[in-house]
Structure 1
């Protein structure tokens, strides 16, 4: 008599496989969590499947460089300025809030900065010095810098989205709380 075998559980898909196989709507929704430009998200979703993460990130970079001023405004409107952890001293909260308010008043959008290259202990100093430095920029120059920081943030968020963690369906926020 032959034994009955239990079918093996289907393999769990890694993040890139899951992203490549997702419906267009699901892929675009996930991408909007990385960068809130509908044109950017639709472009990346439309070019699936990607053979590897490097190809996906290269496509994301290319799509970021092609953002029109309106696309950039759309994406920046959804961003929030990096904040402090609740345990930070009140004086630090006050200084950061004032710096963000001055920046947003000058440029009309949240201050964006990718902090991936810095340790958490350096984040506050990087944000405050970044705001101080960038407040001297002309609007066109600052728009270019903000676009590059947004590209770096979107790339980091996208890399986390497709990291090989099948149980994670949404991108984690990128360094929004210091």
Structure 2
């Protein structure tokens, strides 16, 4: 049985007390309702089942729950500090953002936040600065409903990637 140590394996996540498992998952995706629902679905047989379930549950959340998750994401291009799991993931995911692109990203982020009222969210892993900036500019043309669907999809990709990476 899990005894309060750091969760590093899927077995530990499956066996952890509800509160501990929930807190661990909040570092992956900062939506309390999402984390509660993922924990309620335990046990998971493998990382793919966990990631698929987690992504599916994101599709069922109210926008307020998605906004809660967004509140924990740094702006794309920001230099993330700290030693938390979330900070480490953000640094790794944004490793393709070049310093020379930061000014353009900061400007586009400002316009995006003025338009939509929240941080721009994108799965940055595997994308370079030019691809991220092009997607940000494209999404500035979205209406609110279309952008919320894009955000939800990106959050699902980020979350699934983190879970697969952590528990594969």
Corresponding position: 1:40 with 2:18? no
Indicate the structure (1 or 2) with the bigger Cα radius of gyration: 1
Corresponding position: 1:135 with 2:153? no
Q: Cα distance, 1:114 vs. partner?
A: 0.9
Aligned positions of 1:111-126 closer than 5 A: 111-116=120-125, 118=126, 122-126=127-131
- Aligned residue for 2:117? 108
Correspondent of 1:55 among 24, 49, 69: 49
Identify the structure with bigger relative contact order (alpha carbons < 8 Å, sequence gap 6+): 1
8 Å CA contact 2:48–2:164 kept in 1: the answer is no
**Contiguous gaps of at least 5 residues in structure 1:** 1-12, 164-178
CA root-mean-square deviation: 2.2
The TM-score, its normalising length taken from structure 1, stands at 0.74
What is the distance in 1 between the residues matched to 2:49 and 2:102?
A: 40
8 Å CA contact 1:84–1:124 kept in 2: the answer is no
Aligned length: 146
**Contiguous gaps of at least 5 residues in structure 2:** 1-6, 80-94
Per-residue CA shift, 1:102-134, capped at 9, x if unaligned?
A: 111111111111133x2xxx4201210011100
- Aligned residue for 2:157? 152
Q: Cα distance, 1:46 vs. partner?
A: 1.2
* Structure holding more helix per residue: 2
What is the distance in 2 between the residues matched to 1:145 and 1:88?
A: 24
- Aligned residue for 1:8? none
Per-residue CA shift, 1:30-51, capped at 9, x if unaligned?
A: 1111111111000001111111
**Aligned in 2, Cα 1:71/1:84: closer, same or farther, shift over 3 Å?**
closer
